[in-house]
Structure 1
Amino acid sequence: MARMGADDLLIRTAKDDDEDAIARIDREAWSWLSDVVPQPAEDAEIFDDRRPPEQFLVAELDGRVVGHIRQAPPTPLASNRHVRQIQGLAVSPEAQGRGVGQALVEAACAVARADGIRKMTLRVLGHNAPARRLYERCGFVVDGVLPEEFLLDGRYVDDVWMGRPLND
């Protein structure tokens, strides 16, 4: 799909045989900082009828999948078809800090814009400062906050809703 930077980073649409790599990255990157469910099992299924490979972009660095992002309609409503939502982003620990996350977010927004989507949204945990900074660098702003929406690892955590117009 797109090559980016001197590290030979390639962003492309996921294929069926990327499922194991995506599952590995989800396990490696899992943390209560970013997740509201327990760490995924070794045999966790990634792709299904609701989450087909076409909704995922993967990042390859030197030929190895090191990150992924999923974008999907936030609801099945026709009145909401102009919006997409980022519903998962993970970068393997060895590739973090190299711009992979930002490249994935920008690529997801570009794909959505090319599909005629007007707005990209996402939800991020209030205490996840690194992710919030990443999304802000990518042009997202806070649309709203649900205070103490989750109880994670003994702490109440806000659910922050962010959005970015794509029709600019």
Structure 2
Amino acid sequence: MTVPETFVIRGARAGDGEPLGALDRAEWSPLHAVLPPPSEPYPPFFDERHQPADYLVAERAGVLLGYVRVARPTPLESNGHVRQIQGLAVASEARGQGVGRALLRATLAKAAADGATRITLRVLGHNTPARALYAAEGFAVEGVLPGEFLVEGKPVDDVLMGRPLSQGPLG
């Protein structure tokens, strides 16, 4: 049995936009997407609201394996201590190798280093793999919006999860 090469987690760079867009399109799934499948012409991955500084990426031998986007949920000073995960994707060929967990843990560390004390996210109720990962890393369900989205014509819950950053990564 061969062990895959290790990967590194780093901040995204402007030049990562095209490969991240391709990864995002390749991994589109109704398991986690509430928008229809992407179609041409594809918008740029980075834009005014989605800057490279908001992303961490996993990279192995120059190939991007996944990303996580973390940002402030609002511009309000009263919740400036909160960060929100606003997207996490791992390439199919890299799943089961700890990439998602490493991205998540790096996000927790970065958010804490940036002065945040709490982190939140939203995940679709039927996305069992993502929910299990988040729970294993200390996220708790803090609310559920039943049937908030129609995905492939079926109602799907929007699950709100969060955790304090002071608890540190688990595992």
The normalised TM-score by structure 2 is 0.92
Partner of 2:109: 110
Q: Does 1:54 align with 2:53?
A: yes
**Distance in 2 separating the partners of 1:105 and 1:21:** 20
Unpaired segments ≥5 residues, structure 2:
none
Unpaired segments ≥5 residues, structure 1:
none
Deviation of residue 41 (structure 1)? 3.2
- Match for residue 10 of structure 1 among 2, 8, 11: 8
Aligned residues: 164
Matches within 5 A, 1:53-92: 53-92=52-91
**Distance in 2 separating the partners of 1:44 and 1:102:** 28
Deviation of residue 62 (structure 1)? 2.8
Q: What amino acid sits opposite 1:146 in the alignment?
A: L
Deviation of residue 38 (structure 1)? 1.3
Q: What amino acid sits opposite 1:142 in the alignment?
A: V
Deviation of residue 104 (structure 1)? 0.4
Runs of 4+ in 1 over 4 A off after TM superposition: none
The normalised TM-score by structure 1 is 0.94
**Distance in 2 separating the partners of 1:101 and 1:109:** 12
**Percent same amino acid among aligned pairs?**
54
Q: What amino acid sits opposite 1:34 in the alignment?
A: H
Partner of 1:167: 166
Q: Deviations over 1:46-74 (max 9, x none)?
A: 11121110000010023311100000001
Partner of 1:29: 27
Contact 1:73 1:81 survives alignment (8 Å): yes
Q: What amino acid sits opposite 1:107 in the alignment?
A: A
Partner of 2:130: 131
